[in-house]
Structure 1
Amino acid sequence: MGKSSSLLPLFLCSLLLCLSIFHIKPVNALGTADGSEEWGYVRVRPKAYMFWWLYRSPQRVENASTPWPTVLWLQGGPGGSGVGIGNFQEIGPLDTDLKPRNSTWLQKADLLFVDNPVGTGYSFVEDTTALVTTDWEAATDLTTFLKKLYNTNERLQRSPLYVVAESYGGKYAVTLGISIAKAIKAGELKLTFGGVALGDSWISPEDYAFSWGPLLLDVSRLDFLGAENSNSLAEQIRQQLAAGQYQDATDTLSALEGVITSSSAGVDFYNFMLDADEDPIAASTNLGISEKLTMKKSYSMYLSSKASSTGSLADLMNGIIKKKLKIIPKSVSWGGQSNDVFDALVHDFVKPRISEVDELLSLGVNVTIYNGQVDLICATKGTEAWVRKLKWEGMKEFNKLERKPLHCNNDGVTRGFVKSYKNLHFYWILGAGHFVPVEQPCIALNMLGDITQSPAASSS
């Protein structure tokens, strides 16, 4: 009896320590004194915590007829951190050297970054059974997050929300878009929904696989033999997807990447005008999107090679940024569960989301598609292929329209093209690879202004 009593305080101490590691309130937030930034955690399910970071624009224009918009940025991967990659390497106010970014999207909108799915970036799960295994599960978590953030916040409710996604994030965006529309209709979500934008998005892996061989043949990165081998593996992927053999299709996709890499002498999957070894990542990173290193790691490093002169993004996020935020549990390392996130989604990785785009269009949701001209992984050729499969009633008229050229700063240089019909909009961005905001910042900003109907001034 005495021995048990003496152990009780020790047991309670251990229990309290354990609870303190993971104790996050259902909605827990901090922010800057001037209100320009807020961040925090939302418990979206038991054992699952989603981190978010909201920036309010210092260039906000008050216009009663055109409200200032908010952009929810969804990163790809799966397992890529919007709070890290999207924020510090693409569109946020500071770059990875913590210097002001001249092309920040805050010029057109408030920015809401979220580490999605749980397990990505600063978001975490208490054990791997709480990771999502489908894009729809990720959409459910994101909808729960939005309900908890928006339903009691009238200021947010007045700002229309636009979901903008990159790469695999496009699959989250279309499932989330449907979930948002249904939740609003059911009276469960108090939010003004502006639409979704799919940037170089992995909507149809099959169509992208079939695009690689012909595209690289046309630009002389593959010969006929290499293109034939590529097309043969793409056909194998098509058959595996039709049979529901998703793990096999993912493995074949990895093999296809290997064939393209060897036959092209190392073409860069994010810009087919480059060799992979023209980037610092080439010697140290496998670009295979189905490997454990995955697209999200290689593309974080790709962007780091362009944007940072000192240190890595992980060092920044686990150092000075974590210290600033004050809310990240000590046990949580930024990106520490990202590989687990990819592994949990491995079966959904190759599933198409074309029908979800169709559903959004039928619901009347604004859908914008934009693609970089020299992207390979989500090539424009593949994007055009899956867009042609859309069954939306407006497609016939959309296809009849001619594109309009896009310019920046009245320089007369054609920077891209756009075609719009009703609630479908397609932007072709010249000179950009996979990362449009980084590689063509001026046209990306103008495009964002058009998508969100931002009252901010245009640079066209």
Structure 2
Amino acid sequence: MVYVYILASFTASLLQSCELCSGYLENFCFFIMEKFNVRLLLVFCSLSLFDGGIARAVKSQGGSEEWGYVEVRPKAHLFWWLYESPYRVEQPSKPWPIILWIQGGPGASGVGIGNFEEIGPLDTNLKPRNSTWLKKADLLFVDNPVGTGYSYVEDAELFVKTDDEAATDLTTLLIQLFNTNESLQKSPLYLVAESYGGKFAVTAGLSILKSIEAGKLKLKLGGVALGNSWISPEDFVFSWGPLLKDVSRLDNNGLEISNSLAEKISQQLKDGQYTEATNTWLQLETVIGDNSNQVDFYNFLLDSGMGPVALTGSAFSNGNFAVNRYSRYLNSLRFAAGNNEGNLDSLMNGVIKKKLKIIPANVSWGGQSSYVFSYLEGDFMKPRIAEVDELLSKGVNVTVYNGQLDVICATKGVEAWVDKLRWEGLKDFLSKKRTPLYCKDDQATKGFIKSYKNLQFYWILEAGHFHLIDKFEMQNQEVGYINWYRKSIHI
């Protein structure tokens, strides 16, 4: 069942500024929480707003935005937010696309981070973003999987435990949204993913295709884009040591320890010890930090903690180091750019929650996000190369793009897993010469692209894991991926 709220435009209250705070309280990625009994913590989700599974409807006539909940399984609720572009051009020969933004983590909020930090119409200060991707497409954000952002479950057993379960839930949401809306059905849907979201994107892409083929889902899948995506964890952990040795962040001693733990992870994966591999991965991150003087895993030119936002000792006391590392990194970039306002947690649990109106009173944005990773720890280190292969073999356009300075999803690792593809066009793809990319009148090389049939690879220079924030001027170039898609499938 879909619970929808439609609004014509942002109200005056939405344009109010938010108070400065030190960082997100968002669970982005890459940490393990000890599971404990959270059933009592989840009881609050059964609220008076929902009576017998029926929502109190909140609607307004017309509008450029829609949002709501889909109960993808009994007592499991996914939240979505759709923006219709004011730049939309109606051309029968070139249908206006929809981008479904898939955030990483697992447990990071696309409705919050992807929307207000990266590609949505407003930034965290609620000021217009000149580089919004609405200039090229309608935007659909989903807090995926359940438990992320505004999405929630009413029982801890309903958290997903595999990428495939998350894909099934996301497909259920799309069935509810698209099958009853002929306007949406006219637009090709592009899955654009970041970090762990890449694993969600390729599994969801296949789930979507199967539902389309079975006649259960009325939409056209335009393509899948994988940005700095965690597709093959084994290839990434083997890339860390050599990369950091090459850029002088590790010496031979650090390299030896790093490679030793990578070998241990490889053996654990071969033995099917996936949770143990996740724990060793955490150990490897700690070892690299100790031997590199805490290199930033999202940008090897930085130290973890650079910038005016610093952590207190208590930030490391509860196992949430990776969460705070993510918060610290994004906030340091914001401060460096002269933006010292706009705390995302306060924004999402304040004026945005009031705007949306349908968020249950006792559901806070990010309130369950920490459990999302914990329940997926057995799937976290599993590769999704086979899923990329299957998408390519089915003719789906796949774009891979990666920031040069990333460590966690290093370009060395991406190139390694691409080389393992069994797609029939791989040999011809690898033999192609790269084409340099430029930005406007700047003749300095900003990146490279290699393309063959339905596979494209973008190398983005001077950018790290969050290249949309690191490399602001490349955003319009990146939106160009969608234009390439449109040409490649003749729409």
Distance 1:81 1:133, change over 3 A: same
- How far apart are residue 366 of structure 1 and its match? 0.6
CA contact (8 A) 1:139 1:172 kept: yes
Q: Which residue of 1 aligns with 2:138?
A: 110
* 1:252 equivalent in alignment to 2:277: no
Q: Which residue of 1 aligns with 2:228?
A: 200
Q: Which residue of 2 aligns with 1:367?
A: 398
Q: Which residue of 2 aligns with 1:439?
A: 470
CA contact (8 A) 2:167 2:207 kept: yes
- How far apart are residue 296 of structure 1 and its match? 5.6
Q: Which residue of 2 aligns with 1:184?
A: 212
Q: Which residue of 2 aligns with 1:6?
A: none
Question: In 2, Cα distance between the equivalents of 1:438 and 1:400?
Answer: 32
- How far apart are residue 299 of structure 1 and its match? 2.6
CA contact (8 A) 1:76 1:296 kept: no
Question: In 2, Cα distance between the equivalents of 1:357 and 1:294?
Answer: 31
CA contact (8 A) 2:305 2:328 kept: no
* 1:152 equivalent in alignment to 2:186: no
User: How far does the alpha carbon of each residue in 1:158-196 deviate from its partner, in whole angstroms, 9 at most, with x for none?
Assistant: 111000000000000000000111111111110011010
Which residues of 2 match residues 229-240 of structure 1 at below 5 A? 229-240=257-268
Match of 1:51, SS state, is strand
Question: In 2, Cα distance between the equivalents of 1:352 and 1:24?
Answer: 40
Q: Which residue of 2 aligns with 1:268?
A: 296
CA contact (8 A) 1:109 1:454 kept: no
Q: Which residue of 1 aligns with 2:105?
A: 77
CA contact (8 A) 1:292 1:339 kept: no
Q: Which residue of 2 aligns with 1:319?
A: 350
Q: Which residue of 2 aligns with 1:420?
A: 451
Question: In 2, Cα distance between the equivalents of 1:189 and 1:25?
Answer: 23
* 1:51 equivalent in alignment to 2:50: no
Aligned residues: 439
- Give the alignment's TM-score, normalised by structure 2: 0.85
- How far apart are residue 32 of structure 1 and its match? 6.7
Question: In 1, Cα distance between the equivalents of 2:312 and 2:105?
Answer: 18
Question: In 2, Cα distance between the equivalents of 1:350 and 1:285?
Answer: 29
User: How far does the alpha carbon of each residue in 1:64-123 deviate from its partner, in whole angstroms, 9 at most, with x for none?
Assistant: 211111100011111000000111111111111111111111111111000000000000
Match of 2:67, SS state, is strand
- How far apart are residue 442 of structure 1 and its match? 3.3
Distance 1:29 1:198, change over 3 A: farther
- How far apart are residue 449 of structure 1 and its match? 2.4
Query: Out of 86, 93, 111, which is 2:114 matched to?
Result: 86
CA contact (8 A) 1:81 1:335 kept: yes
- Give the alignment's TM-score, normalised by structure 1: 0.90
Distance 1:389 1:455, change over 3 A: closer
CA contact (8 A) 1:281 1:298 kept: no
- How far apart are residue 411 of structure 1 and its match? 2.1
Name the amino acid aligned to 2:273: Q
Query: Out of 410, 420, 445, which is 1:379 matched to?
Result: 410
Query: Out of 416, 419, 422, which is 1:391 matched to?
Result: 422
Which residues of 2 match residues 197-236 of structure 1 at below 5 A? 197-236=225-264
Q: Which residue of 2 aligns with 1:168?
A: 196
User: How far does the alpha carbon of each residue in 1:274-326 deviate from its partner, in whole angstroms, 9 at most, with x for none?
Assistant: 111214555359999xx953756643453244345225211111011000000
User: How far does the alpha carbon of each residue in 1:357-412 deviate from its partner, in whole angstroms, 9 at most, with x for none?
Assistant: 11111111111100000011100011101111111000000010000011111322
Q: Which residue of 2 aligns with 1:293?
A: 320
Q: Which moved more, 1:439-448 or 1:118-127?
A: 439-448
CA contact (8 A) 1:78 1:169 kept: yes
Distance 1:293 1:177, change over 3 A: same
Query: Out of 366, 372, 375, which is 1:335 matched to?
Result: 366
- How far apart are residue 228 of structure 1 and its match? 0.8
Q: Which moved more, 1:127-136 or 1:274-283?
A: 274-283
Question: In 2, Cα distance between the equivalents of 1:397 and 1:404?
Answer: 15
User: How far does the alpha carbon of each residue in 1:398-440 deviate from its partner, in whole angstroms, 9 at most, with x for none?
Assistant: 0100000111113222110000111111000011101122222
Query: Out of 321, 337, 351, which is 2:382 matched to?
Result: 351
Uncovered stretches (5+) of structure 2, i.e. residues with no partner = 1-42
Distance 1:454 1:400, change over 3 A: closer
Q: Which moved more, 1:31-40 or 1:89-98?
A: 31-40
Uncovered stretches (5+) of structure 1, i.e. residues with no partner = 1-14
Q: Which residue of 1 aligns with 2:23?
A: none
Q: CA RMSD in A?
A: 2.4
Name the amino acid aligned to 2:293: A
Question: In 1, Cα distance between the equivalents of 2:478 and 2:158?
Answer: 37
Distance 1:319 1:329, change over 3 A: same
Q: Which residue of 2 aligns with 1:121?
A: 149
CA contact (8 A) 1:29 1:40 kept: no
